[in-house]
Amino acid sequence: MQFMFGFAFAFDLHLNCLQYIVVTFGTGDLFYIPYVVPDDICGLTSIQKIVGGSESEAHAWPWQVSLQTSSDFHFCGGSLINNQWVVTAAHCVEESETYQIVLGEHDRNVDHGPEVTRTTIKVIKHEDYHGEAPYPNDIALLKLHQPVEFTAEIYPACVPMSDDVFTKETECWISGWGDTKGNRIDIDIDIEYLLLVLSYILVNKQDTGDRTKLQEMRIDVVDNQSCGEKWGKGYILDTNICVGNGDIGACNGDSGGPLSCRGDSNTWMLAGATSWGISGCQTAGYPNVYTRISKYRQWIIEHIVAN
Ligand SMILES: [Ca+2]
């Protein structure tokens, strides 16, 4: 098997053909482009999960990234899905902007060594994202200026198959650095979302945890019908996945950051990207709403291949 680019990995042998796009050139030679989403190289973490924790053990979620402005201002989370692409929420980013992506991070105030910083060379917001409730298609892809090497601290989440389902029996966790959601203020956003962001800030200010370190929380998936009944007609789309009950715990996840759920093969799937929730975040009865990544698998693959 021949690889076009220099960043083929030793473990490529384990890939199945789904991870390759076979392209032909004028000579008729076949080349294999490294995977688009590496279904066999994803979703592993060396940290065993303990229910009830709040600060995550360092690097428990090695796909978790921090989105920052060029002045190191953290404003959203995201998830690594292969060696050069990150999934986040569309409401976090603008296509005209360049962002810093910090991978391998845990404590944002301490340089541990595994942190890697990349800048974005492409920001792709979903074409049909609308910045007003219910924020449909709240997903974006970020291309890093250089691929990253996978390590114990930097590793992609699995992108779920289109028909993968996650239920309240699934073990799911949210994670994020929750203290900095207000940084979107200097970026062009609509007032409704701004209010949502402010509500997150208020909640997080009441949190006594150390918000410079990655926080995590075990959380239950709520089925879409129940979630829709709680929110009211039209709010919950089949491209959403709901978690929790809308109280303070569900605010732990940064916007754009991962909802990680344990898959059948015990690897962690990127079930969702944090999208929106109840203003104030403390009103029980209103689950938090995430972008359901399984519904965007094809969109993700198509845009990575084209870019
Ligand atoms: Ca650090």
For the ranges 125-134, 170-179, 184-193, 270-279, the lowest mean pLDDT is seen at 184-193
Share of the chain above pLDDT 70, in %: 72
Question: pLDDT confidence of 210, banded at 50, 70, 90?
Answer: low
Give 23's Cβ-side CA count (13 Å radius). 11
Does an H or E element contain 33, and which? strand 30-33
C-alpha 60 to ligand 1 mean position (Å): 14
The C-alpha atoms of residue 212 and residue 227 are separated, in whole angstroms, by 31
CB of 282 within 8 A of CB of 207?
no
Tell me 67's DSSP state: E
Phi, psi of 290 (to 5 degrees): -120, 155
- The pTM (predicted TM-score) of the whole model is 0.80
Residue count of the chain, please give it. Answer: 307
C-alpha 112 to ligand 1 mean position (Å): 5
Looking at residues 18-23, what average pLDDT do you find?
33
pLDDT at 25 over 50: no
The C-alpha atoms of residue 173 and residue 291 are separated, in whole angstroms, by 15
For the ranges 41-50, 52-61, 184-193, the lowest mean pLDDT is seen at 184-193
The C-alpha atoms of residue 244 and residue 288 are separated, in whole angstroms, by 6
Q: Classify each residue of 267-287 as buried b or exposed e, where b means 16 or more C-beta atoms within 10 Å of its C-beta.
A: bbbbbbbbbbbbebbbeeebb
Rounded mean pLDDT of the chain?
80
pLDDT at 161: 96
For the ranges 8-12, 75-79, 175-179, 242-246, the lowest mean pLDDT is seen at 8-12
Active-site residue list: 91, 138, 255
User: pLDDT, tens digit, for every residue of 229-286?
Assistant: 999 989 999 999 999 987 754 454 478 999 999 998 889 999 999 998 876 666 788 8
For the ranges 143-157, 159-173, 226-240, 248-262, the lowest mean pLDDT is seen at 248-262
Indicate the residue type of 61.
W
CB of 29 within 8 A of CB of 17?
no
CA dihedral angle for residue 157, residue 160, residue 166, residue 171, rounded to 10 degrees: -20
User: pLDDT, tens digit, for every residue of 102-140?
Assistant: 999 999 999 999 999 999 999 999 999 999 889 999 999
C-alpha 173 to ligand 1 mean position (Å): 21
Query: Which residues, including other chains, have CB under 8 Å from residue 297's CB and lie 6 or more apart?
Result: 37, 159, 160, 161, 162
C-alpha 117 to ligand 1 mean position (Å): 11
